[in-house]
Structure 1
Amino acid sequence: MRIGIDVGGTNTDAALICDDQVLAGAKSQTTEDVTSGVTSVIQKVLQASGHSHSDVSAVMVGTTHFVNAFVQRKSLLNVACIRIGLPLGSGIPPLVDWPDDLREQIGEHIYMIGGGSYFNGHEYATLDEQALQQAAEDIKAKGITAIAISSVFAPVRPDIETKAAEILNRHLGTAYITLSHQVGGIGLVERENAAIINASLQALSRKVVPSLHQALKELGIDAPLYLSHNDGTLMSTDYAMQFPVMTCSAGPTNSIRGAAFLSGLEEAIVVDIGGTTSDIGGLSKGFPRETSDASDIGGVRTNFSMPDVLSIGLGGGTLVKHDEQGIILGPESVGYQLTEKAMIFGGDVLTTSDIAVANGQMKFGDASLVSHLNEEFIDRVCQAMKSKLESAIDQLKISAEPIPVILVGGGAHLISGELKGTSRVIHPTNSDVANAIGAAIAQVGGRVKRLFDYQVEGGREAALEKAKQEAINNAINAGAQPGTVKVIELEEYPMTHVQSHAVDVKVKAVGQLGE
């Protein structure tokens, strides 16, 4: 019996699942400390199901703690940014593309170190250990405890970063060190950015994760705790504390996974309609489709694993206006103040929820307060909402063929009827807690993303087999049952611009959580 929890900006959702059956769902307002909101929603979902705390065998949490902290510039550590690449790799310095306020938050503590390799793994300069020692002395004098190490083509030669970390540890003792090859892919600046973000969140991760453990302890739940990964799988709390950046897109990811579970579909477009926005993502083989583009987090470009999600200003609290040009939807929203400002609750602001209630699509609040709305006007607003969503879905589709669309989230019933460019529209049961369900049913994942030289590895088949086995082993080491692990994703990107047999290989394997 598992409890899945998704901590959102407005609500914290929970779902209790046993043997692939949803026993109960619950919502609670997200609290500033987050932990008390998690405690409250667990008590609600257990009470609704009639089960006790001792029945719970695992708890899975998807949280926006870390991405919110970075976006809001809160609770961030000063970071020492060490780039290994001289005499090459200095054309674009670290942090050059960061917003000014973020650079001030983490400090511009930049250390350029000699060493590095070409794309084929051959060193063009040995690691400058003396420069590293001098950097360590300066870092220690400044009292900095978070360090991000990046080197040129680190996914090919991760040992260069690893050796640098060993040297720093000898001189600094205790420090939070993030190695870029552990969080990002090919592309020095974006990978370096991901490592710096991760390093800046280290202190917060060591506060948040233990507080979640403490919440379970206070509730009397003696069960393992897992956090949701960006790619729709689970990670241990130790891994999450080391790599908090890997939780940044857990919310949309959990919704997509939950939609797949509730609908039984493996290929579809998922629309998660909340209070302020709608998050639209692709579902491929039962998992979120990952973006191939650089991802923007708080104004910083990164290249680690993120779902391909498009957010638009359409939610249950979206303001509805009209003028000579026609219907205007948002982008303003009343958000969590819906129950105070919307007309169906006695307020004076017309929202999309008011329209849905007036049209009979949703039943909450007082429908009599919107009974005066003109039927033609209601139809025009409904059509405007559908058109806005149809346009966004069209952007996410990878072919012109009609594809099923699954609507989930608290505002899922804002949309009714057919949508252009889709084969069917599905409103699954328990769609309002799809995000929590996605957390509860998540599997354990193992990943490999690095360059392989097919000639050196003994040919393409031998190299791919090595990569697949490595991903499978990573999943098992993360807690997956050995007999259940399978490879669900394999991608090859030949490096056509270089004279070698180098190929960027990406493999993902998943398996059931071990007992």
Structure 2
Amino acid sequence: MTGRPLATLDRAATAEFAHRASAAGVTALAVCAAGAPTAPGPELEAAAIIAGILPDAVLSLSYEIGSPGLRERENATILNAALGGWADDLVQDCQRALRSAGIDAPLLFARDSGGLVSADYFRRHPVIATSPATPCAARGAAARTGSDNAVVVDTGARSVRCLKVVDGEPARHERPCPGVLGVRVQLGAPDVSEVTPGADSELRAVLARLGDSLPGAPVIHTGGPAEALRTAAAPESRFDAARHAARADCRAELEHIVSAAGRAELDQMLEAARGHALSLAIAAGAAPGTVRIKALTHAPVAYLPAGVHRVTVQATGEPLTDVPS
């Protein structure tokens, strides 16, 4: 993670693997190197070798997807590769539906953080958009009621989902957690608590816990009928149907580890991270003239030598509207 290479890439073994994959008819592959969040070179070199042998294969590279944690990043990259065929089918189905309805408009997909990405970006990174309904509902509910901070209760047929919105954004898991198919990943997914419909005492306990961590925040309902919640929710609750009111912004996020000898070098690396995040937001469907950095944080990694920092950047922009689906 300091950027020091552990070993040179075994190009012959990589090529042999690609030939075996070709013989087996494999069309989607995941590439993951130990230090990729710091130095993606080995992944890019391996990808070039594989692409030369399997030119039609779809490659998922871990430095583009996961967090610095190796196992969670491996899991996320493999899931992303496995979901590629489903994502491609879904995009084509949606495009056919729009054309059959005579709708000529950009096709966007909601990501799990509540933002939007273009169809092409979704094709390449489907693992970031597997369960976006509740985060979108939460962001929409908070925006519709003018609440920057809120506890949102999203009711569905099979579960009642509760989460916090802090400064207009769904609160996220800080640690790795089960993602799609229960596989452990760390992709900044919102921290959602699920309650069985009708379990009023459990719902009251969840709302109390979330409310205690966000004093003074209103409880907002969105989703299905609210009657079952009126006995469990706090008296000051406000009920508002806002499932489809997701804020319409395209966004991209990255998390890297950088190694800098001093402040000047760190500033250069932070500027490069800003530029990378802005370009990712444009790739995700944002209009170039509207992109901006929403958040940038960096902190030393305590268990690594001095000068090694974890950098997280979020970029956002308004969707490009003149691109047909």
Structure 2: segments with no counterpart, 5+ residues: none
1:511 maps onto 2:317 in alignment: yes
CA–CA distance in structure 2, aligned partners of residues 178 and 219 of structure 1: 33
Q: Of 299, 303, 325, which residue of structure 1 is paired with 2:186?
A: 303
1:459-498 to 2 correspondences below 5 Å = 461-498=267-304
1:237 maps onto 2:83 in alignment: no
Deviates more, 1:184-193 or 1:496-505: 496-505
Q: Which residue of 1 aligns with 2:239?
A: 427
Q: Give 1:483 shift.
A: 4.6
1:213 maps onto 2:105 in alignment: no
1:399 maps onto 2:213 in alignment: yes
1:100-179 to 2 correspondences below 5 Å = 119-179=1-61
Larger RCO (alpha carbons 8 Å, 6+ apart): 2
3-state SS, counterpart of residue 46 of structure 2 = helix
Q: 1:247 to 1:487 in 2, by over 3 A?
A: same
CA–CA distance in structure 2, aligned partners of residues 459 and 308 of structure 1: 35
Q: Is the 8 A contact 1:479 1:514 kept in 2?
A: yes
Q: Give 1:175 shift.
A: 0.9
Q: Is the 8 A contact 1:494 1:504 kept in 2?
A: yes
Alignment-mate amino acid for residue 298 of structure 2: E
Q: Which residue of 2 aligns with 1:246?
A: 128
Alignment-mate amino acid for residue 146 of structure 2: G
Q: Give 1:445 shift.
A: 0.8
Q: Of 241, 245, 267, which residue of structure 1 is paired with 2:149?
A: 267
The C-alpha deviation readout for 1:388-420, integer Å capped at 9, x for no partner, is 222112444573633221111113332237845
CA–CA distance in structure 2, aligned partners of residues 252 and 400 of structure 1: 19
The C-alpha deviation readout for 1:313-366, integer Å capped at 9, x for no partner, is 12xxx4xxxxxxxxxx4xxxxxxxxxxxxxxxxxxxxxxxxxxxxxxxxxxxxx
The C-alpha deviation readout for 1:191-219, integer Å capped at 9, x for no partner, is 10111111111222221111110001011
CA RMSD, 1 decimal: 2.2
- Identity, in percent, stands at 32
Q: Which residue of 2 aligns with 1:195?
A: 77
CA–CA distance in structure 1, aligned partners of residues 210 and 36 of structure 2: 32
Q: Is the 8 A contact 1:190 1:303 kept in 2?
A: yes
1:3-42 to 2 correspondences below 5 Å = none
CA–CA distance in structure 2, aligned partners of residues 307 and 511 of structure 1: 21
CA–CA distance in structure 1, aligned partners of residues 283 and 81 of structure 2: 24
CA–CA distance in structure 2, aligned partners of residues 142 and 413 of structure 1: 55
Q: 1:171 to 1:398 in 2, by over 3 A?
A: farther
CA–CA distance in structure 2, aligned partners of residues 469 and 144 of structure 1: 34
Q: Which residue of 2 aligns with 1:289?
A: 171
Q: 1:224 to 1:300 in 2, by over 3 A?
A: same
Equivalent residues, number: 320
Q: 1:481 to 1:144 in 2, by over 3 A?
A: closer
Q: Rg: which structure is higher?
A: 1
1:282-431 to 2 correspondences below 5 Å = 282-297=164-179, 298-314=181-197, 318=198, 329=199, 385=200, 387-396=201-210, 399=213, 401-416=215-230, 419=233, 424-428=236-240, 431=241
Q: Give 1:454 shift.
A: 4.1
Structure 1: segments with no counterpart, 5+ residues: 1-118, 319-328, 330-384
Q: Is the 8 A contact 1:310 1:396 kept in 2?
A: no
CA–CA distance in structure 1, aligned partners of residues 283 and 54 of structure 2: 29
CA–CA distance in structure 2, aligned partners of residues 188 and 444 of structure 1: 28
Q: Is the 8 A contact 1:281 1:396 kept in 2?
A: yes
Q: 1:400 to 1:217 in 2, by over 3 A?
A: closer
3-state SS, counterpart of residue 403 of structure 1 = coil
3-state SS, counterpart of residue 154 of structure 2 = strand
Q: Is the 8 A contact 1:257 1:442 kept in 2?
A: no
Q: 1:397 to 1:448 in 2, by over 3 A?
A: farther
Q: Is the 8 A contact 2:204 2:232 kept in 1?
A: no
Alignment-mate amino acid for residue 219 of structure 2: V
Please, what TM-score do these two structures have when normalized by structure 1?
A: 0.58
CA–CA distance in structure 2, aligned partners of residues 389 and 215 of structure 1: 38
3-state SS, counterpart of residue 125 of structure 1 = coil
Q: 1:485 to 1:146 in 2, by over 3 A?
A: closer
Q: Of 426, 434, 442, which residue of structure 1 is paired with 2:248?
A: 442
Q: 1:498 to 1:202 in 2, by over 3 A?
A: same
Q: Give 1:160 shift.
A: 1.2
CA–CA distance in structure 2, aligned partners of residues 204 and 456 of structure 1: 45
Q: Which residue of 2 aligns with 1:29?
A: none
CA–CA distance in structure 1, aligned partners of residues 212 and 301 of structure 2: 24
Q: Give 1:190 shift.
A: 0.8
Q: Hey, which of these two has a bigger chunk of strand by percent?
A: 1
3-state SS, counterpart of residue 436 of structure 1 = coil
Q: 1:156 to 1:308 in 2, by over 3 A?
A: same
